[in-house]
Structures are given as C-alpha cells and as structure tokens.
Structure 1
Amino acid sequence: MTEPVVHIANLTIQYPNNVVLNSLSWSIQQGENYVIGGTSGSGKTTLAKAIAGLIPADNAIKLNFDASKSLPAKVVYISNWYQFTNLEGDRNFYYQQRYNHHQGHDTLTVKAELEHFAKKENLDFSAIRQRIQDFGFEDVQSSQLIELSSGEHKKLQLVRGLWTKPQLLIIDEPYTGLDKNARAVLNTWLDELVQEGVQLILITNDTLLPNFINRFAHVVNGQIEIVNSPAAFAKDKKRQKKELPAFLHEIPQTNYETVAEMNNIFIRYGEKVVLKDVSWKVNVGEKWLLQGPNGSGKSTLLSLINGDHPQAYGHDLSLFGNKRGSGESIWDIKQKIGIISPEMHWYFDQNATVWHTIASGFYDSIGWFIDVKYQEQKQIEELMEFFDLTEYKNQNLQTLPLGKQRLAMLARTIVKNPPLLVLDEPCQGLDNDQAKYFNDVVDELAQYGKTLIYVGHYETQLPSCIEHRIVLEKGEVKAIENITVKNKHLESAIV
C-alpha cells in the first residue's frame, strides 16, 4: 500500500492559555487535493504551517514524497500576507513610504526580486514570462516592492510559489486581494500543476475553486473533520445586532459641500504613469464604490484623498472645500477621515493591543502614542462592546483571528466619528458571513451623514448603501455611473 503524502499522528500545538490543535491525526493520500475551511481562529493556518515545517510539531508529522516524480520533493507554503525586506534585509518600513518615489528605491524591483528568486531556486525565468502576462503582472516589473498594492503583492507571492512546482503546495487564502481575472488565471494554473503532479492544500472558505479539488475538511475543537463540500464548513457564530454607540448617531458637522474634487490629475514615477487625466468629484454624503483590476491606480487615488501622497501638491485637487496647498496641514485632513486598508493593516504596530489599536484612531497613528481623554476612553469602550471585543482588549492585535482584527481596525476607523470613511478592501480574508456583518455595520453608519468611498472586488461583499461607482483601468477612468448594489450586477470583467 502506498504511504500517505502527509501523515499526522497526535499533533498538539498550544499557545499561552490556548490549545489550537489537540492530538490531531490526519492522513492525505496521493491524488487528494484538499480545501481546509471553517471558522476564523480554528487553527487552519497553524495546521498548514506545521505541515510546512514552519511550526515545531514534535515529530508528529511525516511527509512522504514520491522519488519517481521529477518535481522537487518539498512542501511550499504561501502565506496569507507577503513579508518583504529592504535591501539591507529588514522590514523597517512606514505606511506612507510606498508613495514616496525616492525612498521607494530602498527595495528591489519586482523583476529583480524574481530574478534573484530564480537564481536561488535554479529556475528558468523564461518559463514564467507567460504566467506573468496572464496574471496582468507584466506592467509592474520595474516597480519597487514597496510600491505594490496588496493584490500585486499577492500575485508576486503566487508567481514565486507556483513557479517552483513542489510536490506539495499549500496556499493560505489564495484569492485574497485578487481581481476577477486573476482568480480565474490562478485556478487554471493550479489545475495544470495538479496534472503535472503537484498536490494541493488550500486554506479558504471561497467556493470558486480549481476543478481538481476533490477533498474538503475543517478544524473543529482542535481536530480535523472531513466533510463533503464547502457548504458543510463550520461557520462563525452570527453576531447579534446591537445598537450603534450613541456618539456615532451624531451627524458630522460640515461647512463644505464637496469632500474631494480633482481635475485632470497625472501621477507618475519617472517614466511610469500611475494616474492619467483623472477627474472625480465626491460630494458630502455620497456613497462611492471604487473598482478596477489589480494595479489600476486605486490605492494611489485614495492616497491623494487621505493626504499620504507627496505629489498631491501642485495638482488641481481640493479636499473638504480647500485646495491642497492652501495652508491646511495633513493632520487637518486626516482628522476628517477614517481609513482602513490592507496596507495599513500590514504596517500597523504589531505590539499594539486591541485597546491601543482603537485608541490610535483618534491620533491617526499606526500605533498609540498619546494618553486618551475620558470621553475618548468611553468611546473606545463602547466600540469594543459593540464589536464583541471587550474580552480581547489587552491582547495584541496580531494574536486575534483575522475577522476580529478587521473589526478592531473598523472600530479604529470610526472611533472619532469622521465625516469621510475610506474602506479599502476591508473584507479581504473574511468569509461571506463575516463580510455581511461588517457591511451591515457600514450600512448603519452610512445612515448618519457619512460620506463613503469603498473598494471591493466581490459583488457579494459590498454594502447596500452604495449609490455611485468609479472604475479605473491602467490609471484612467473607464466609467463613472450611478448604481444600486441591491439590483445591479457589479462584478464585470474589468474588476
């Protein structure tokens, strides 16, 4: 009888006061391609990392590779988030640095990173050129790693990992941040790899999967359970709807009619044009959806609005009724904005507790530096209760399941009750139930005079309050239109 590719016997992994995997046993046979789904924080990622040898498993895991295969006898793990280093080998970056072209040269270009990886792994660069083109990734080869959007970073992760064609490939949240075309390209590529002998384990609750996926499992109470389909995955407990804290019922006072107005904006880095002749007007109280493929310029456009882009000066750009450069400070702008984005989550202080994370929203910092006032403390406490985060108030943000991290970041975004909410792919990594809960909160907030700019790829993960849409493609405006999420299909070939 052929030995299983993965054999796990009585695997136990625990962190302080928390047993994640409890005497777990599991075997994966040749030809079995798994999706592991289930609840946030159940131990899926911990199990994947243990199989990949990234977490000590005390000899509870045995891998049996096929010596007759030409593929490398190894396991490759692609994490949910991409961690890159600068040219000196550390990760000492700050959030706004990605928009500063001069300081961006502290990291490798995409092409240099891939060439370095090819040399290290003894790979042929020509073998990956068509994949790069299929992914729509060829236009960023000269970009610095720090300049990439979250979706572009995900593509870089995937290109590197799939290029190696290991006998066992594990991908944690493979579709996070990818646009519609990239998700389809990824599934096709994975199916082709399976035909070449690669075996898959995907960690996801997504239902649009490669054709060769033939096994499903979830982790429940520290044990692996085999199920028949993703529909049987355990789901997070639905939260009971609560009344918004009273301070969020207050409609923000504004003495301006336009939140943002830009005319014929050009943003370039050297020869690379990121935004080309972009004009857009956002009036007070409007609810906008911003869409476009990965790398279309969405993050750069938002950086002009939230005050993080150094090229905002010298352009025909007005924010909150004032032309940029007319005397207002960046802090005057940020005081009026609550923002959440994958990049901000990446750069956030990894040692911040949940309480400090929310408190930092008053000061628009990536950590927490100032003692909060009594009224501010009260608002923090109210938001923790509203989002069921009170019991985690003293835990580091990074130790929580992703769903709870995102809720803490949303609490940070709204704690000062700003007139403008900028929500850049806030539901990345959340399943449909978690995303619905998140967007229900956004819909409720929208009733109290908020202006909203929301970035999202998935039609099923959008708030229903959205009224308008702007679509970017290769830095240009392709569409501006009025919409109603409830009755119009939004997800087209370009998003």
Structure 2
Amino acid sequence: MAIIGLDGVTARIGKHAWLRDISLHIGGDDHWAIVGANGSGKSALGRLLCGELEVDSGFLDTVEKSAFIAFETVNEILEIERYNDDTDFLDRIDQGTSVRDFILEGQPDAAPRLHKLAAQLHFSDLLERGIRFLSTGEMRKVVICRALLQDPELLVLDEPFDGLDQASCQVVRSLISDLAQRGLRLVLLLNRFSEILPCITHLAYLRDCRIFASGPREELLASEALLRFHAFHYALPERLPAVPKGSDAGSVRDDAALVEMKDVMVRYDGKYVLNRLNWTVSPGQHWKISGPNGSGKSTLLSLVSGDNPQAYANDIRLFGRQRGTGESVWDIKKQIGLVSTAFQQSYRVGVTAELAVISGFFDSIGVYHRYSSAQRAIALQWLEILHLQDKRHAPLRSLSYGEQRMVLMARAMIKQPRLLILDEPCQGLDAINREMVLKLVDFLGTRGHTQILYVTHHPEDCIPCITHSLEMVPAPEGGYTSRVTCEAGRSGTAESL
C-alpha cells in the first residue's frame, strides 16, 4: 500500500517552469533516490513530496510531517542570520544564533536527543558556535539534526553528501542507513549514481521536469537505455574566448609569487582557526587544498581573495605586494576569479544569467558599469561553452542550484584571471556538468596564464594540471596548519618548510 502517492501531478516551479505529469507511489517499506541532471526538477519534486508546491492538476497524497533539506534552505537560513548580524554596532564580532539555539528553537525539551544526535553526527564541539561561522559540511549536519528532532514521517535530502569531507560522508551514510532501518521514509535527491546507498530500494530518473524512468533499484541500474542516456563526453572548445582590451587583470611580474604566507594566524573568539601556516604559490603552480570540514580551507582562501580583514594582521604578500601597503581590495580582485558556496550565497541581486557572467569583468555582484558589446558577446561565448546559452535571459535566482554554480563558474573565468580560486566548484553539479567544469578548468590552467587553487572533498574530481597539494592538518597549539606536497613528493608541516 502506498504511503505517498502522486498521480498525473502538474505543479508550477517558477514563472516559466513546471513539473509535468508526475506519477510516483512510495510504499511503506520503500526508500527512493531521485536522480537527474541540473535543472531536471529534482529539488522541485522534493518540495512537492513535502507539500511545499501547489498542485495545479492531478492528485497528491503525502504525509503530514515532512522535512526538506537542500542548499537553498540553508541559504535562506544564513541570509536571515546575515541580516540580523549586529557586528557593525558592537565592539566585538556578533556570534549570532548558536548551533544549540538554532536546533532547539521551539522545542527546548529536545535537548537530550540533541546531544545524542550531535555525538552521532560528530559535531558536539560546535554547539556553542554561531551558525554563520560553520563550514558548508558542518552546517549540513546541523540542519539534518534539527530536522530529525522534529520527528518527520518523511525526510527528503537534496545532495546530502555535497560539502562533506570523507569522514563526515561516512557518518551521514551510517545515519541514513540507521534511519531507514527504523522505518523513517527517505528520499535522496542525487546527482551521482555512486551515492545511491544500499538502503535505497527504488529509483526515479528525471529529465526536463518529467519522470523519464522509475522502478526498483536493480532494475533501473541495469537499464541500458538509461545508462546510454546518462552517458556524456564533453568536447573542449578549440580556443578560449578572447579578453577585450581594457579588461585585463593588470600587471604582475612574471617571476612574482602569487601568494606568500609566513606564520599566518587567524583566531575567532579567542580560538585558533589557522595557526602558524606557511605557504607559497610560485609562478606556474596549480594547487589542490584539502582537509576536514572546519579545518579553515575557506578561511585560508578568504585571506587570498581579499575578503578577510585578518589578512592585515599577518605577513601575507599577494601578487608580489605586501598586504596593507596601500593596495585596495579591488586591486586584489582584479587578479582573481572566485567560485565558492559563500560567494554563491551572497550573489543575491536580481540579474539575468548573462549579466551575472558580465559582472566578472567588474568584480562586482551585479552590473553597475556600462559594458561593451564585445564583453556581452564574450559572456555569451562562455555560456555556450557551458551549454547554458538558453538560460542567458533567465533570472539567476530562478535557476537550479547547479545551474547557478555553472553561471558563476563562467563569471569567474571570463577575464581569465591570474588566479582562479575554486572552493568546491562541483558542489551541486551532475556528472555531465562536473566533467565540463573540470576539463575546462584544466584547459584554462594548461593553455592560459591562469593558476588554480582548488578545494574538493571528492578524490574522483581531479584536475590533471594540478601537481601541488596543501593539506590542512591539526597544529600542536590548536587550529590548523599546512602540510605541502610538491611534484617531487617532498612534504612536511608548516614548521619544517
């Protein structure tokens, strides 16, 4: 007998998009994975299952209590938190809502269960920290915990493993398997077939906001038609789009190190994040940055991108110039292209996809300068390279999370900067778009003058041109320091290099 039933459901997603003719029946012992490309309607179907979309036609019967967890819901939470940030009016940093208060909001009697779940998810040490200061992976576990304390009958997890380090992925996998055994109905929305867990009994594949195929797990995984449809090989462009005159990133000596950090320390609320970290990015080098959730990877990159004021209290040289010697943050941003979860969360202006790409010429969120026809033509070329030309006039915020990520990738690459900072660039991307992004970044790093700084938690998402590695490791006095590995295989901690 079906616990959740959809028969011929049509529901509006946005101004011009609809889920159409959706029929799906979830039985009492079923656990489903919904797989599909970016923009296929997975997140919308998850919201529909949770009763968050209005049904235009057809029949929907679902449970009374459900929870839907996605990047978009986390973004909404953090946007409210940023709006209420009173740091500018205080003589200290406003910590905002603590993890404990966020999880227990409206349910104070759930404290004993909170401590049990926090231990199971390995974030007990974060309970007093403000949620604004959590990493992507840490916030993901916190939001899952909050949802479980509300005792849902259905839990829909949109890309539950993105943003998690390998250890945290295993923790969340174990939790999901445990929840399935206890009888909680689970629906996972996934881009990667490799993330389908053993507890999943049924699959549905979405294409163009319709169910392309659905049925028992083993039956669909053995479907040659589905596998042929999902297979894709990306062809690189013959050459990269030009950079119009006047849009170059400025002059940096060819022999200058792009980044030099000596004994860098960053603390928040008296606690070390980075501790005696040393690192040099010499000309021609491309780097992978790794480490567990909360180890300071994003903090490290914010020191490079010019977005962290603690850079001025440290011995840091960027593009051959000491920080704090009269350069502006805009002088730094001229040299940099950036993609990160935090940047995507902050890009909240109402612009089209095309204008979002053009904004990369001006290092701005939104476009506030007159742009040329040449710049507009180059923006369209980048969208075409990423197969997004049909989205050029769509509002950026109307696109799926993965499509937004791709648009911001084009924005970061459009001026072919000296330094391209990619903080989990494939987060939220399906297999096709991951292949496009990784091949294109490697092409840019190999053929152009751009150097790459790349953070990822997925070993399979490799970029061949990267030959240097910085690993965040615990420092003896607290926080994290660096262990570097170069082409020759020589490695050591910050203190020894």
What is the match of residue 343 of structure 1? 342
| Other-structure match for 1:295 | 294
* 1:14 to 1:59, Cα distance in 2 relative to 1, 3 A: closer
Within the candidate set 157, 160, 178, 2:146 is matched to 160
SS at match of 2:295: coil
The two structures have a TM-score, normalised by structure 2, of 0.86
Shift of 1:398: 2.2
- Which residue of structure 2 lines up, in the alignment, with residue 201 of structure 1? 187
Structure 1 residues 60 and 381: CA distance shift in structure 2, 3 A: closer
- 1:247 is aligned to 242
Identity of aligned residues (%): 28
- Asked whether the equivalents of residues 165 and 193 of structure 1 are also in contact (C-alpha less than 8 Å), the reply is no
Give the superposition deviation at 1:192.
1.2
SS in 2 for 1:31: coil
Q: Which amino acid aligns with 2:458?
A: Y
Mapped to 1, the partners of 2:14 and 2:155 lie a distance apart of: 30
Give me the TM-score of the superposition, normalised by structure 1. Answer: 0.87
Measured against aligned partners, the alpha-carbon deviations of 1:175-197 in whole angstroms (never above 9, x if no partner) come to 12111111111111111112222
Alignment match of 1:92 (pick from 79, 83, 86): 83
Equivalent in the alignment of 1:70: none
The aligned counterpart of 1:75 is 66
**Which residue type is aligned with residue 482 of structure 1?**
C
Are the aligned partners of 2:250 and 2:334 in contact in 1 as well (CA < 8 Å)?
A: no
Whole-Å separation in 2 of the counterparts to 1:133 and 1:248: 51
Alignment of 1:298-447 (within 5 A): 298-447=297-446
Whether the 8 Å contact between 2:7 and 2:24 is mirrored in structure 1 is: yes
Relative to structure 1, the CA distance from residue 372 to residue 276 in structure 2 (aligned partners, 3 Å threshold; closer, same or farther) is same
Q: 3-state DSSP class of the match of 1:359?
A: helix
Paired residue total: 470
Q: How many Å apart are 1:331 and its aligned residue?
A: 0.8
Note if contact 1:467-1:484 (Cα within 8 Å) is conserved in structure 2. no
Q: Does 1:481 align with 2:485?
A: yes
Instruction: Find the counterpart in structure 2 of residue 118 from structure 1.
Output: 107
SS in 2 for 1:36: strand
Kept after mapping to 1: 8 A contact 2:241/2:381: no
The residue type equivalent to 2:237 in the other structure is K
Distance 1:402 1:347 in 2: 13
Structure 2 CA distance, aligned partners of 1:99 and 1:286? 38
* 1:183 aligned partner: 169
Contact 2:356 2:408 in 1 (8 A): yes
Say which is worse superposed, 40-49 or 440-449, in terms of deviation.
40-49
Query: Is the Cα contact below 8 Å between 1:98 and 1:146 reproduced in 2?
Result: no
Separation (CA, whole Å) in 2 of partners of 1:84 and 1:144: 16
| CA deviation after TM superposition for structure 1 residue 349, in Å | 2.4
Question: CA deviation digits over 1:133-174, x for unaligned, max 9?
Answer: 343323332322222222222122112123334221111111
- 8 Å Cα contact 2:402/2:427 also seen in 1: no
Please list every run of 5 or more consecutive structure 1 residues that lacks an aligned counterpart in the other structure. 66-72, 486-495
Alpha-carbon separation, structure 1, partners of 2:250 and 2:434: 26
Q: Which residue of the partner structure matches residue 493 of structure 2?
A: none
- Residue 226 of structure 1, aligned match among 207, 214, 218: 214
User: Which residues of structure 2 form unaligned runs of 5+?
Assistant: 490-497
CA–CA distance in 2 between the matches of 1:157 and 1:139? 16
Q: In structure 2, do the counterparts of structure 1 residues 173 and 125 end up closer, same or farther at CA, with 3 Å as the change threshold?
A: same
Cα distance 1:382–1:38, how it changes in 2: closer, same or farther (>3 A)? closer
Q: How does 1:444-455 map to 2 (within 5 A)?
A: 444-447=443-446, 448-455=448-455
CA shift, 1:480, in A, is 0.9
State the Cα deviation string for residues 337-366 of structure 1 (Å, max 9, x = none).
111101111110241211110111122222
Residues in 2 aligned to 1:353 and 1:106: alpha-carbon distance in whole angstroms: 34
Q: Is the 8 A contact 2:34 2:188 kept in 1?
A: yes
